């Protein structure tokens, strides 16, 4: 979010052009966070490569350094974590500042609930408005004491030294962050912690726990672990983030004469909703060189331009594409016909209210986009130009940048500094691929 006098970043993107060549987008944010958390509480030295050097994953890294973990890097995506074991973290001297990162705060609330010291977690203006009751309440059932504001927003104060017990819990919403939070608390709990999810969500925590030698039982929509084990250090190769690739998948689809190869992208089946949805819309996406690296499927993705068509987005794809909807809405705006999204109320509590922020921006560009309580209805059309507000949300900013590839006039996007939370070097990489984008610092 913008502050009155703080300098702010603005993108100015000229219309047209195409995306071509080979690019590699930065490392996966979800996997990067988890590599630091699990590496820190493992026994031994964990080596990570491909780590995302974005502000969010760096917030997690810094927090664990402040709890006494010795971490080298990142240098060119390489991080070395000297694990302190499950019970080796130390009380930090000051509250942990997690910036814009909801993943850090939600996952760490579970992990920290099992420590024998008190700790406070704070965040920026956006994070300070995000709902945390979804982790506070089930953690309380485990015997943890985590307190936020009356309305369940941060700061969060975790009281250490509680004896946690395992629970059998059904998530009220499809959330990998809540699932992961409870699994991490479950490491410290007596007995079994079993989580049932209403729909499959990203399973990086489960996969990575296995990679660290920790037994995880998975049956249908349920995942269980038993407390009291130990994690053994390992090597982690972080693939490129499909959520960052998504902007280019949409950009190359909507820009005439595009032919772009995205290299080494994570293709975990719980993350590929964006590919499934774009293919339903008629996108020309080819997967090459499919392989498995460090327990995660990876591929190179070739995407070429095509005329997209509007679709009704299947609700089972929503959790599998939860971070990619801002980009998908741009695809819908450039498609022929109507696109309807339902079952996506979670989009209203992301880094911004993504349904409203996208509807407002699309309206400025001349697109008929009607928000609903749990989704949006977008009529494909001709995009004009204008000044849109990203609301300080990295994914809104990058999505509108790509929209210029099929707009008639310049698109100016305000409050783009937070792009650095997930995609450092976005402007340079987008320029290299063919987007006519510049970034400009302005007074807030």
180 binds ligand S3P (CB under 6 A): yes
- The Cβ of residue 76 has, within 10 Å, a number of other Cβ atoms equal to 9
Closest CA to 283 of 352, 230, 339, 322: 339
Q: Which is nearer to ligand S3P, 177 or 268 (CB)?
A: 177
> How many residues does the structure list for the chain?
444
- For the CB of residue 152, give the shortest distance to ligand S3P in the complex, in Å: 14
CA–CA dist 60, 346 (Å, integer): 23
CA–CA dist 134, 344 (Å, integer): 17
- Single out the segment in contact with ligand S3P by CB under 6 A; choices: 172-180, 191-199, 263-271, 374-382: 172-180
- Single out the segment in contact with ligand S3P by CB under 6 A; choices: 14-22, 171-179, 223-231, 298-306: 171-179
175 binds ligand S3P (CB under 6 A): yes
Phi, psi of 383 (to 5 degrees): -90, 125
- Single out the segment in contact with ligand S3P by CB under 6 A; choices: 42-50, 73-81, 175-183, 407-415: 175-183
Closest CA to 348 of 333, 326, 369, 368: 326
CA–CA dist 322, 320 (Å, integer): 6
Q: Which is nearer to ligand S3P, 177 or 305 (CB)?
A: 177
Q: Which is nearer to ligand S3P, 10 or 106 (CB)?
A: 106
- Single out the segment in contact with ligand S3P by CB under 6 A; choices: 43-51, 116-124, 151-159, 170-178: 170-178
Interface residue with ligand S3P among 127, 144, 202, 311 (CB under 6 A) is 202
Q: Which is nearer to ligand S3P, 162 or 201 (CB)?
A: 201
- For the CB of residue 372, give the shortest distance to ligand S3P in the complex, in Å: 19
176 binds ligand S3P (CB under 6 A): yes
CA–CA dist 85, 98 (Å, integer): 22
- Single out the segment in contact with ligand S3P by CB under 6 A; choices: 148-156, 176-184, 222-230, 384-392: 176-184
Looking up tokens 């004896």, which residue turns up? 163
- 3-class DSSP state for residue 2? coil
101 binds ligand S3P (CB under 6 A): no
Judged by CB under 6 A, how many residues of this single chain contact ligand S3P?
10
Q: Is-cis flag, bond preceding 90, omega within 30?
A: no
Q: Are 34 and 107 in contact (CB under 8 A)?
A: yes
322 binds ligand S3P (CB under 6 A): yes
Among residues 124, 203, 237, 323, which one is catalytic? 323
Q: Which is nearer to ligand S3P, 322 or 365 (CB)?
A: 322
40 binds ligand S3P (CB under 6 A): no
Q: What Cα–Cα distance (Å) separates residue 170 from each residue in 182, 221, 223, 224? A: 11, 10, 11, 12
* Interface pattern 351-390 for ligand S3P (x via CB under 6 A): ----------------------------------------
CA–CA dist 300, 408 (Å, integer): 31
- For the CB of residue 228, give the shortest distance to ligand S3P in the complex, in Å: 24
**Please, what's the b/e burial string for 122-148 (b: 16 or more CB within 10 A of its CB; e: otherwise)?**
bbbebbebbbbebbbebbeebbbebeb
Q: Are 43 and 81 in contact (CB under 8 A)?
A: no
317 binds ligand S3P (CB under 6 A): no
177 binds ligand S3P (CB under 6 A): yes
Gyration radius of the chain's alpha carbons: 21
Residue 323 designated active-site: yes
- For the CB of residue 179, give the shortest distance to ligand S3P in the complex, in Å: 7
- 3-class DSSP state for residue 424? coil
Interface residue with ligand S3P among 46, 57, 100, 103 (CB under 6 A) is 103
- 3-class DSSP state for residue 127? helix
- 3-class DSSP state for residue 234? coil
- For the CB of residue 438, give the shortest distance to ligand S3P in the complex, in Å: 27
30 binds ligand S3P (CB under 6 A): yes
- For the CB of residue 56, give the shortest distance to ligand S3P in the complex, in Å: 9
Name the pairing type of β-strands 437-443 and 7-13. antiparallel
- For the CB of residue 381, give the shortest distance to ligand S3P in the complex, in Å: 28
CA–CA dist 242, 422 (Å, integer): 12
Active site residues: 323
Query: Which residues lie near ligand S3P (CB under 6 A)?
Result: 30, 103, 175-177, 180, 202, 322-323, 346
């Amino acid at each position: 979010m913008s502050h009155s006098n703080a300098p702010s970043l603005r993108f100015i993107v000229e219309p047209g052009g195409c995306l071509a060549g080979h690019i590699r987008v930065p490392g996966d944010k979800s996997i990067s966070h988890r590599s630091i958390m699990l590496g820190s509480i493992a026994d031994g030295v964990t080596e990570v490569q491909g780590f995302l050097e974005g502000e969010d994953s760096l917030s997690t890294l810094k927090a664990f350094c402040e709890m006494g973990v010795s971490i080298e890097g990142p240098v060119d995506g390489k991080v070395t974590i000297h694990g302190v074991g499950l019970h080796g973290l130390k009380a930090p001297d000051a509250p942990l500042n997690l910036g814009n990162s909801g993943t850090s705060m939600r996952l760490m609330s579970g992990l920290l609930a099992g420590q024998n010291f008190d700790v406070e977690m704070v965040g920026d203006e956006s994070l300070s408005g995000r709902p945390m009751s979804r982790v506070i309440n089930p953690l309380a059932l485990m015997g943890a004491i985590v307190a936020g504001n009356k309305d369940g927003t941060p700061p969060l104060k975790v009281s250490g030294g509680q004896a946690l017990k395992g629970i059998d819990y059904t998530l009220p919403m499809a959330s990998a962050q809540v699932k992961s939070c409870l699994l991490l608390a479950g490491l410290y709990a007596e007995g079994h912690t079993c989580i049932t999810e209403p729909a499959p969500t990203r399973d990086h925590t489960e996969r990575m726990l296995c990679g660290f030698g920790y037994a995880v039982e998975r049956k249908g929509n349920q995942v269980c672990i038993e407390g009291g084990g130990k994690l053994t250090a390992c090597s982690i190769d972080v693939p490129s983030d499909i959520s960052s690739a998504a902007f280019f998948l949409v950009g190359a689809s909507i820009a005439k004469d595009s032919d772009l190869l995205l290299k080494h992208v994570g293709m975990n089946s719980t993350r590929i909703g964006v590919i499934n949805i774009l293919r339903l819309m008629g996108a020309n996406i080819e997967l090459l060189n499919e392989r498995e690296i460090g327990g995660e499927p990876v591929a190179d993705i070739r995407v070429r331009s095509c005329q997209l068509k509007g679709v009704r987005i299947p609700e089972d794809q929503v959790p599998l594409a939860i971070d990619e909807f801002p980009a998908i809405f741009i695809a819908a705006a450039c498609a022929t016909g109507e696109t309807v999204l339902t079952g996506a109320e979670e989009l209203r509590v992301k880094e911004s209210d993504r349904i409203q922020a996208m509807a407002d921006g699309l309206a400025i560009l001349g697109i008929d986009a009607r928000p609903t309580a749990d989704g949006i209805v977008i009529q494909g059309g001709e995009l004009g130009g204008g000044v849109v507000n990203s609301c300080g949300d990295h994914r809104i900013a990058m999505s509108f940048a790509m929209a210029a590839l099929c707009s008639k006039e310049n698109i100016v996007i305000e409050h783009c500094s937070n792009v650095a939370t997930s995609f450092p070097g976005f402007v340079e990489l987008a320029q290299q691929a063919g987007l006519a984008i510049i970034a400009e610092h302005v007074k807030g």
